[in-house]
């Protein structure tokens, strides 16, 4: 049995075919995040509504998409919907599945952020005469964003790795292209080790972005305490 080859590993690490797969993985993650945030915000607002006609469908949506595997959702969209006359291509199916699945998790993350805001913030905004839209945009969302960023970071990391599931419908992201290279060169350990490094690079880049976002949203919320004057205390 052939051992691990450092040369083959380095060749796989800089393989343009695999690097393009890593880029596709990053783009799928970005699309899933953007769509998931937008739809998740809408679902969170619907779940906060006192009207059952609005919050019950949103609750049912979250229950279904959080309670079923992404793989099943992906297969249902790509292979199941054509049986009732609705057909999507591979890329559209993948993005749709990622957005619908991610939105369910984002809805709960965003809702928890809204719930953590003191009720006095809403009362003060209404007392100042702000409309509900302006209150949401100027008061609630900035505070909720600061609260949910750690949870959002974990969700994005999970989404990035979940894109590997899309290889089952022949989406040529990083995992699918790794399998294709492995079937040609039979360097199983070296190719998958290179893919693991690519995933680590992508998650590390996101961690860096997340830290910068956290520092930005912490501005204005961090209370700086002046150092104690020991001489004054001893008087």
| CATH code (residue 226) | 1.10.3720.10
Q: What is the pLDDT, as a whole number, of residue 125?
A: 80
- The size of the chain, in residues, is 235
Rg (CA), the chain: 23
What's the rounded Cα separation, in Å, for the pair 2 and 11? 17
Q: What is the pLDDT, as a whole number, of residue 114?
A: 85
Q: How many domains does the chain have?
A: 1
Residue located via tokens 């039979």: 186
Q: Does the pLDDT at position 229 exceed 90?
A: no
Helix (H, G, I), strand (E, B) or coil at 87: coil
**Residues 98-115: pLDDT tens digits?**
999 999 999 999 998 888
Q: Do the domain assignments include residue 1?
A: no
Residue located via tokens 């969209």: 77
**Residues 175-221: pLDDT tens digits?**
999 989 888 878 788 899 999 999 999 999 999 998 888 888 776 55
Q: Do the domain assignments include residue 73?
A: yes
Percent of the chain with pLDDT over 70: 92
**Residues 35-87: pLDDT tens digits?**
999 999 999 989 988 888 989 999 999 999 999 999 999 999 999 999 999 99
Return the structure tokens found at 112.
Answer: 């928890």
Q: Do the domain assignments include residue 18?
A: yes
Domain that holds residue 105: 6-234
Q: Which residues contact 154 (CB under 8 A, 6 or more apart)?
A: none
**Residues 1-25: pLDDT tens digits?**
467 777 888 988 899 999 999 999 9
What is the helix (H) or strand (E) element at residue 222, kind and residue range? Answer: none
Q: What are the helix and strand counts (H, E) for the chain?
A: 11, 0
User: Phi then psi for 187, rounded to 5 degrees?
Assistant: -95, 75
Q: Do the domain assignments include residue 218?
A: yes
Q: What is the pLDDT, as a whole number, of residue 149?
A: 86
């Amino acid at each position: 049995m052939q051992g691990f080859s450092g040369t083959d590993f380095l060749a796989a690490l800089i393989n343009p075919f695999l690097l393009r797969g890593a880029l596709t993985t990053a783009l799928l993650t970005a699309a899933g995040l953007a769509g998931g945030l937008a739809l998740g915000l809408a679902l969170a607002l619907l779940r906060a509504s006192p009207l059952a006609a609005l919050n019950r469908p949103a609750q049912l949506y979250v229950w279904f998409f959080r309670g079923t595997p992404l793989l099943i959702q992906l297969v249902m969209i790509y292979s199941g919907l054509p049986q009732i006359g609705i057909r999507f291509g591979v890329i559209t199916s993948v993005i749709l599945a990622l957005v619908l699945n991610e939105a369910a998790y984002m809805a709960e993350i965003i809702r928890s952020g809204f719930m953590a805001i003191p009720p006095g913030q809403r009362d003060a905004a209404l007392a100042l005469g702000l409309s509900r839209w302006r209150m949401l945009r100027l008061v609630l969302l900035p505070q909720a964003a600061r609260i949910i960023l750690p949870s959002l970071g974990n969700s994005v990391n999970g989404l990035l790795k979940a894109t590997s599931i899309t290889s089952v419908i022949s989406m040529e992201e990083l995992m699918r292209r790794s399998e294709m290279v492995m079937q040609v060169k039979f360097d199983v350990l070296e190719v998958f080790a290179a893919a693991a490094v690519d995933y680590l690079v992508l998650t590390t880049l996101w961690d860096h972005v997340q830290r910068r976002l956290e520092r930005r949203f912490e501005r204005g919320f961090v209370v700086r305490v002046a150092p104690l004057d020991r001489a004054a205390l001893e008087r």
